[in-house]
A and B are shown apart, each in its own frame.
Chain A
Amino acid sequence: MLDLLAQTGLNAVYAASYISLIAVGLVLIFGVMGVVNFAHGELYMAGAYAVVLLYTDFQIPFFLAVAVGMMFVGCLGLAMERALFRPLRDNPLGGLVASIGFLMILQSLAVMGFGVRMEHIPPVTQHVIEFSERVRLPLSRLFVIVAAVVLLSALWIFLKKTRFGWALRAAAQDPEAAALQGISINQTARIAMFIGAGLAGIAGAMTAPLVSVNPHMGHSVIVTAFIVIIVGGVGSLEGAIVASVAYAFVHTFVTTFFDGVIADITGLSLMLLVLIVKPTGLFGSADRA
């Protein structure tokens, strides 16, 4: 029993790391630009397919493929910012529709380029860390956990210590006042979009050998990410991380002890409960709606 609990706990930590990478990117984009990026799950998918193409087909070393994939998805984010979100800045519903359109384009590009079938990616490493006979952590999962911790810490330092991070937080708080202080809204939007998309891309690239890669993989991810950012409080990075961990633990444990559908229902019910009791989320402030 203790073994099972420990193993489920490890699985939850792994789930929490990639969920938080995706959710933090989504929160960053929402916070700075005020749009709900529905295509975020497809950016994650694009990261995974970058690894399929570079690592599986072209035999490029895995970590190089991941880095290239992250840059590629970050640039996709830049393109979205310039082509879609900048012209629609004063039209939140418009941004939503445009991102849904972009989602469909990315998805059908993936279908045309790779087919609807699941991709097979050879494992990066077969190595498994064994804590005991029944508690084991595959090394490739550890990579994802380490990547999440390193990247999120780096983002934290960037946001709190550098001038760019300062500008970004100012623009998120009050775009107009920030612009009056000489902060370029376009510049901060570009940075937020590049980082947000890049985080989704690296989450997809790192987990590609561990999950089933197919053109519709973004769907369940975006639902999870929405739950997480609502529970954490829309616009709050700390909230997104805390909620990712909480959600991952609840979901993984309920999946292990009951089944996957019950786990989904539990997650959604918890989110609804949070919305009813504290509609701004755990870490959200009342004025950001």
Chain B
Amino acid sequence: MRNLLIFLAGAAALIALPHFLSFSQQEILVFLTINVLLVSSYRLLTLTGEWSLGHVVIMGVGAYASALFTKELGIFVPVSILLGGITAALLAVLLSFPLFRMKGFYFLIGSFAAGEIIRLLWKRFRDPFGGPKGIKGIDPMPDFSIGIYDFDFFEPVSYYYLSGAVVVVCLWILWRIERSPVGLTFHAVHWQDKLAEASGVNLRAYRTLAFAIASGFAGISGALLAHYVGTINPNSFDVEVMVFVLTWAIVGGTGTFYGPILGCIVLTVINEIVLRELGFEQMRPLIYGAIMILSILFMPKGLESVVQKLISRRATDGATGQEAKT
């Protein structure tokens, strides 16, 4: 009952949220929902112990695929978003053959190389990828009305509701996957790979599965982005974006499901809203870099460790209070 109330209150707050923000902040909110999905899908991959530098390019694969499906084949936009995710997942399965011959640092660099090759192919081949200028005029979501609310998807608020709903569903799926026997096996692949293998777990297959699922959700987030901004080019998915994803995950901490999401939200709010409002436009990268350094130096386990400390302190406070009563 109490959980249901908290859930309803949270949902109401999320629905009301954009109406308190300025237009540019509403736009940031849309990107934030997309990035939350991106960083959460990234965490699923890190569960198996592999850190990729190609995740943002995989997101771009979803974006390009969905854009081309609607443009060239005239597929209905919501369907093509899903197809974008599937394309990204299938490509990940293909990439897994060369990439999973490597581990650790070599996988990191190998995934970077693979991603960069894909990105350069977009840049090189004007047909169908549009070359360095990318694809313009991507079909937006068709508008519709549900009686009490007219969805006009050029408005950030409407798109926020759409992307928010999609992201919540995707996060729920990711959460269920992590809690399922498959998710537990991912943990085993990371922490007890020898034991898992001895127990008959096919390590390579589970790594590939995690990579494909993570890439599929990254592809969906890319497709959501493409149909919102309407234009994508190879530079939208370059290594600088990847660096942001990596820092969200590390600053937030990857030990828990909410860690990367927390990192993404906190860093985005600091970077896009607080620093902008304070008028540090030109110094933003400098302050952002300093925050990254300070947080890794003084909070190496991520923001989630702070949250965990707060929760456990409250729990012990509660326990001592109980003892005092009895």
Chain B residues bordering chain A, tally (CB within 8 A): 39
Can you identify 14 A-B contacts, CB atoms within 8 angstroms?
Answer: A87-B297, A88-B297, A88-B300, A98-B293, A104-B285, A104-B288, A104-B289, A108-B282, A230-B109, A265-B120, A272-B117, A275-B98, A275-B110, A275-B113
Given contacts A268-B113, A272-B113, A275-B106, contact A103 B282 (CB under 8 A): no
Within 8 A of A (CB), among B267-305: 282-286, 288-293, 296-297, 300
Among B101, B104, B105, B293, the most chain A Cβ lie within 10 Å of the Cβ of: B293
B250 within 8 A of A: yes
Within 8 A of A (CB), among B119-145: 120-121, 123-124
Interface extent on A, as a size class? 35 or more
The answer to whether A227 and B113 touch across the interface, beta carbons within 8 angstroms, is: yes
Residue of B nearest to A265 (CB): B120
Which residues in A have some Cβ–Cβ distance to B below 8 Å? 36, 84, 87-88, 91, 93-94, 96-98, 100-105, 107-109, 111-112, 219, 223, 226-227, 230, 234, 261-262, 264-265, 268-269, 271-272, 275-276, 279, 289
What B residues does A269 contact at CB under 8 A?
117
Residue of B nearest to A109 (CB): B286
The 6 closest A-B pairs by CB, nearest first: A104-B289, A101-B292, A101-B293, A108-B285, A101-B289, A108-B286
What A residues does B114 contact at CB under 8 A?
272
The answer to whether A36 and B105 touch across the interface, beta carbons within 8 angstroms, is: yes
Q: Is the interface of A mostly helix, strand, loop or mixed?
A: helix
Among B51, B113, B251, B297, the most chain A Cβ lie within 10 Å of the Cβ of: B113
Cα distance, A108 to B271, chains bound together (Å): 14
Given contacts A84-B293, A101-B293, A105-B290, contact A279 B101 (CB under 8 A): yes
What B residues does A276 contact at CB under 8 A?
98, 101-102
Within 8 A of A (CB), among B169-196: none
B158 within 8 A of A: no
B243 within 8 A of A: yes
**Which of A96, A107, A234 is within 8 Å of B285, CB to CB?**
A107
What B residues does A101 contact at CB under 8 A?
247, 288-293, 296
